[in-house]
Chain A
Amino acid sequence: MSTAVHRRMLKEYLAIQKNSATRPHLELLEPIQEDDLLHWQAILLGTADSGYEGGRFRLDIVIPTSYPIQPPTIRFLTTICHPNVHFKTGEICLDILKSEWTPSWTLESVCVAISSLLTNPEPSSPLNCDAANLLRCGDMAGYNSLVKMYTALYAMDEDQE
């Protein structure tokens, strides 16, 4: 049982509760169970200027006991069409969650980073080749409509809670 990670998670929890008003694209960020600070969930909202508008994307966040030396493991639970997110597993390809992690990131800032990844895809390191290929060919209309379709299919279900 590492106490350092719990202390830090508690601090983050309190900070998140305090700043809840200042995050427009983060509907929810909290531990799944009150007594387990190492397993969190989050809900990202699609930004208005993207094909994800209106979607609610659920994230699963697992904190390793060596946090913050090691990054948290984050994946999408909601199916999402994005060049850097695996369509089936929800795995996210983002350098700050892998090699470029530094302990100065917090769960909150990581969620903001993922949120901005949605609007700024990086097709050169894809986990979803179909979406990335559309972008690489410059077919923005095709890409946007694909994203819109999957958002409507999977992320707008009112009953997903």
Chain B
Amino acid sequence: MSSPSSSSPGGSHTANSAERSHTTPSPAVGPGLSAPGVLQPAAPKFKLSLPSASQPDIIRANQKDSYYQQILKDQVKDAVREIFGSRRQHMYQTEVDVFSDLCYYSLTTLLGTQTLGEEYCDIMQIKSSSSTFPSLPRRSALVFWHVLIPYIYSKGSQELRRRTKPQPAQRPHHHAGHRLDATLSEEQPPREPSPALIKAKAFIHNWLPTLQNFFKSHGHSAHLAVFYFFGAYYSFSKRVTGIRYIFNRKLSPGEERSGYEVLGVLIVIQLAIQFYQWRRQLAVDAQEKASAAALQAGKTLAGEAVAVEEESEEEEEEEDFTQTAAEINIRKCTLCLDPRTNTTATPCGHLFCWTCIREWCQNKPECPLCRQHVQISALLPIYTKLY
């Protein structure tokens, strides 16, 4: 509610504590309270000597925030359910969540106060470039990035994926993985489909999920690693808007402030290992593809059919030493009609491939052979060699 400049590192206990009705019992030093209108941009720019917040504080503040956000979300959800009925509440669940987050940040960050989590940990937002209290537009941008962009991004990418699925692509060239493109491209007018566009469409449709996954797992990890090293920006939204934290509690003598650099190192190692495995997998795949292509070249379906028949006959011949054809039949999975891989039993005792029965049970939780109810968690892989 006021610029950091008005509170000296150690002072102003007395004035605030009475007025902070909504807060936690921390010994926090909140900034001096004043009307929201009076505060900020005009604040004098003198040099702040407060240290920037360390990683544990920021993370703790975030956890505290998400805890309160969850409480708010639940309450808003209940209210919406009471008013509109549970069907509508279910239909618009994401929107309701976004709305309650928006409320939370509007009432805290946007108004110029600390969020509950920040207050709990005695940290405060400042503009990193000038070390001043962030202006209203900047705070609005922060809330927008923090709450609305993830929503727009997920909706936009869903929509993009849906649109690129059927006929023509209306988005010629763009980098599908970029967050904003997913939303911007929506506004482009439809055009005549040309071969290039269709190609682009197929490309987007095939690669969008991959890129998204890539960003979700690796991009996020990398960002987290950077945070653990430098402790500046915990979330993308803060990095974009350039808002970081300062620490405004006086440390008692002998109190140490630790960082999370070790975690950062671990994440970097993890990423490096993942990259290495991915490269190796790529090489193996390429090899397999090459050999498969060589095998398949120039064969028609009839040719393939004969080939598979020969193959299965070969298999049978190989196995004839130990077993009869009937026994081979028993070992078949009735879903893929191939010999079972990773044999899995249902509670009723029927055997299938793990992938086949899992895929089916996600679709409908019953045994394909006897229709008995099957919990997907009750599927039992069998590691003993059966025959």
Contact = CB atoms under 8 A, between A and B. Distances in A.
B7 to A, nearest CB: 62
Given A7-B336, A15-B337, A104-B335, A37 B301 contact: yes
A103 B335 contact: yes
Interface size band for B: 20 to 34
Interface size band for A: 10 to 19
B240 to A, nearest CB: 39
B87 to A, nearest CB: 23
B300 A69 contact: no
A102 B346 CA distance: 15
Contacts of A69: 359-360, 363
A153 to B, nearest CB: 37
A102 B368 contact: yes
B308 A103 contact: no
Interface string B355-378: 010011001101011010000000
A34 B366 contact: no
B338 interface: yes
Interface in A69-113: 69, 102-104, 106
B336 A4 contact: yes
A98 B304 CA distance: 32
A10 B363 CA distance: 23
B338 A11 contact: yes
Given A11-B337, A11-B338, A68-B335, A104 B368 contact: yes
B309 interface: yes
B185 interface: no
A104 B302 CA distance: 25
Contact of B334 (A34, A35, A37, A103): A103
A8 to B, nearest CB: 6
B371 A102 contact: yes
Interface in B289-316: 300-302, 304-305, 308-309, 312
Nearest to B366: A102
B356 A7 contact: no
A104 B337 CA distance: 9
Contacts of A106: 337
Nearest to B371: A102
B349 to A, nearest CB: 14
Nearest to A17: B305
Contact of A7 (B312, B338, B359, B363): B338
Contacts of A103: 334-335, 356, 360, 368
Interface in A6-48: 7-8, 10-15, 34-35, 37
Contacts of A4: 336
Nearest to A33: B301
Contacts of B337: 8, 11-12, 15, 106
A112 to B, nearest CB: 16
Contacts of B312: 14
B336 A10 contact: no
Contacts of B308: 10-11, 14
A4 B353 CA distance: 13
Contacts of A15: 337
A80 B50 CA distance: 87
A96 to B, nearest CB: 11
A14 B309 contact: yes
A13 B309 CA distance: 11
A43 B163 CA distance: 39
Contacts of B369: 102, 104
Nearest to A36: B301
Nearest to B350: A104
A66 to B, nearest CB: 9
B289 to A, nearest CB: 13
Nearest to B302: A34
B334 to A, nearest CB: 5
B357 to A, nearest CB: 9
B89 to A, nearest CB: 28
Interface string B3-45: 0000000000000000000000000000000000000000000
B336 A8 contact: yes
8 contacts: A7-B336, A7-B338, A11-B338, A15-B337, A34-B300, A68-B335, A103-B335, A103-B356
Given A104-B334, A104-B335, 19 more contacts: A7-B336, A8-B336, A10-B304, A11-B308, A11-B337, A13-B305, A15-B337, A34-B301, A34-B302, A35-B300, A37-B301, A69-B363, A102-B364, A103-B334, A103-B356, A103-B360, A103-B368, A104-B368, A106-B337
Leading 4 A-B pairs by shortest Cβ distance: A11-B337, A102-B368, A104-B368, A104-B334
Interface of A: 4, 7-8, 10-15, 34-35, 37, 68-69, 102-104, 106
